[in-house]
Structure 1
């Protein structure tokens, strides 16, 4: 029965009170990302932005040429909800070569609006409000905010601050009857941790034992240093059915504004995930999908990925040396392109105040470490991004050295 009819039938009158306009229950807890806030402040003062992970190095020529050709050829309308076939096929080849995953491009791959869109759609398709998702601290704030936006419950498991190792007793103790998934990010933002094969194998055992999904954000998979390997959890025993592999080309090809991500999962999950991605984003920009496909094909048999590692390892070492000189002791990252550094020496009671002190003193924007921790954590840490053009990175290093 319709609610108004039910009220009339029982003799009750609808109260003639109009509720006040107000924010949703979620909104008061949502604030502007510290990453965005520091980027805005950096623009205001004309500083060097080492805050946002925009990766403004040059994109591959094949990507630009492919996108321009697609525009001129009229590929400017919606694509299929799972993305264009040439891109899905190129991603499948890449995953076979680099991730050792055999993925059917027609039933197990979804092109998404960035890795962020992939996670958002997967959570909508596979989890229910009130479900708990385990993730490690320091965490990427957008992961936590995505979970909260869907009324999921993030359960934070801290890593060891000294070397970012996992306390598996603590991880197991965090599990409850409402735990439905584990969210991984390797290489990790902001710590630069690369999860080892042994760590991932133990996580896989827990996921299998407790029948959990594993959401694996692998967007920094090609940024690996000191000979480390990237392991996709989906390759481990028992994980193919429960692992949702998320990645993209934003960081690898320096095209963060293109919003080309992708998701690989068992065929049984793809229709529902694709539905929610279509509902929210429709599709990634059509001509940019063609550009991404062209770049993947062109770089398939080249030294591009090896050269990328070498280039970013050099950038890492350059910035770590400057931070050490400035007595902002860095946690040397194993992967990705961020450095967490100890900012105890800077003026300020909070990480936000210390970040603004650094911006004021030497014109460098960073992200307060508190953005990656629960309340009270990360108060003496700052995150620096070294995914920058060399001239900007050199200017930042010179400014830091003057701080010493």
Structure 2
């Protein structure tokens, strides 16, 4: 009879936390890996491959050479917080004290994570609108919160107010708004946000907003920040950053702006998790915010408008009907004509036959079947890369 293994040789029991049971690699990351393996054109990941503004590069390089390169204050360097406060007032119509109402973090994702740690308890419910951005859902689940979903209808991406009311319970703590939205490109109208503001006030809900694409709006559609609406500022955490606006997704510079008692705790969570955002890169963004005038943002919009037109036309020719976005830099397209039962099978067919990577639609819905007929394509690419992707889509049969 074999002897029992000694404690030193015993097989280790699984020590993974229960939160890992629902955590999987994002479809965005998975498709990017597959695209690299096959040598394709990656329109799946939201990596903006456009040139960086010169003042940003020069200021960051100077800061790397001359400092700051040590820890900053946990909520960011004063110069950046002041620049963000100035921008919030002039662009968003939101007044925020740079000394107590702004926390610079490791990207908008980092800011959202710290805000969730500070404001949500395990079991708290948070309402999201789908199609949603997957990192919002996984972040909520990571802190023990429970996502509840309200589905938007393709086309105008409207939703049923009764469905919103039905999604709210006595355990609902917050609501999440992404405008301009990833992946749909929906920009919430002022009227929609006013209705949502009344809903949040009547149920005493926290409002999280992700406005990372705030400068990327098309066809003169107005971007409205929820915190600018009457009575909403004190219950809103405004989250944004510069990954998309300045094409610096790898720099991880974002922020949360909110009332001071919330900002204090979000800052403490930021200190605990990240210590601080990268010091010299904070400096680069601060200088760029002061140096770039409206012409930079106008040119960014015009360039992305042209790229949107190029990709939508190519998708239309390929028989993949695009839902033309109002903002952000993605197109959700109807890929139901492609072979396959699921969105993943259809996206893989597209990648394997044309070499163009997209994100399967089920990545954006809590019921996977709701997204089986959709795929997301990113058009914030160099002209050469986008033209090659469109050429390949033209070979689709």
- TM-score, normalised to structure 1, is 0.94
| Residue 272, structure 1, aligned to residue 262, structure 2 | no
**CA deviation vs aligned residue, 1:293-347 (integer Å, no higher than 9, x gap):** 1111111x34111111111111111100000000000001010000010111111
Which residue of the partner structure matches residue 7 of structure 1? none
Which residue of the partner structure matches residue 312 of structure 1? 304
3-state SS of paired residue (1:26): helix
Which residue of the partner structure matches residue 277 of structure 2? 284
Matches of 1:238 and 1:302, distance apart in 2: 29
Matches of 2:385 and 2:11, distance apart in 1: 55
Which residue of the partner structure matches residue 124 of structure 1? 117
Which residue of the partner structure matches residue 3 of structure 2? none
Offset of 1:268 from its aligned partner?
1.8
3-state SS of paired residue (2:155): coil
Matches of 2:192 and 2:319, distance apart in 1: 32
Offset of 1:240 from its aligned partner?
1.1
| Residue 333, structure 1, aligned to residue 333, structure 2 | no
3-state SS of paired residue (1:398): helix
3-state SS of paired residue (2:386): helix
> Which deviates more from structure 2 when the two are superposed, residues 320-329 or residues 53-62?
53-62
Which residue of the partner structure matches residue 7 of structure 2? none
Matches of 2:246 and 2:93, distance apart in 1: 21
| Residue 51, structure 1, aligned to residue 44, structure 2 | yes
| Residue 180, structure 1, aligned to residue 173, structure 2 | yes
Which residue of the partner structure matches residue 399 of structure 1? 392
Matches of 1:368 and 1:357, distance apart in 2: 11
Alignment of 1:2-401 (within 5 A): 20-299=13-292, 301-375=293-367, 376-401=369-394
3-state SS of paired residue (1:377): helix
Which residue of the partner structure matches residue 6 of structure 1? none
3-state SS of paired residue (2:18): coil
3-state SS of paired residue (1:268): helix
Stretches of structure 1 lacking an aligned partner (at least 5 in a row): 1-16
**CA deviation vs aligned residue, 1:26-59 (integer Å, no higher than 9, x gap):** 1121111100001011111111000000111111
Offset of 1:18 from its aligned partner?
10
**How many residue pairs are counted as aligned between the two chains?**
387
3-state SS of paired residue (1:303): helix
3-state SS of paired residue (2:371): coil
Offset of 1:19 from its aligned partner?
8.3
3-state SS of paired residue (2:110): helix
Offset of 1:174 from its aligned partner?
1.0
Stretches of structure 2 lacking an aligned partner (at least 5 in a row): 1-9
Matches of 2:12 and 2:339, distance apart in 1: 46
- TM-score, normalised to structure 2, is 0.96
3-state SS of paired residue (2:234): coil
RMSD, aligned α-carbons: 1.3
3-state SS of paired residue (2:162): helix
> Which deviates more from structure 2 when the two are superposed, residues 321-330 or residues 98-107?
98-107
Q: Which contiguous aligned blocks of 4+ residues in structure 1 show a shift greater than 3 angstroms?
A: none
The 3 A distance-change label for structure 1 pair 20 and 97 is same
Matches of 1:162 and 1:256, distance apart in 2: 29
Which residue of the partner structure matches residue 4 of structure 2? none
Matches of 2:27 and 2:14, distance apart in 1: 28
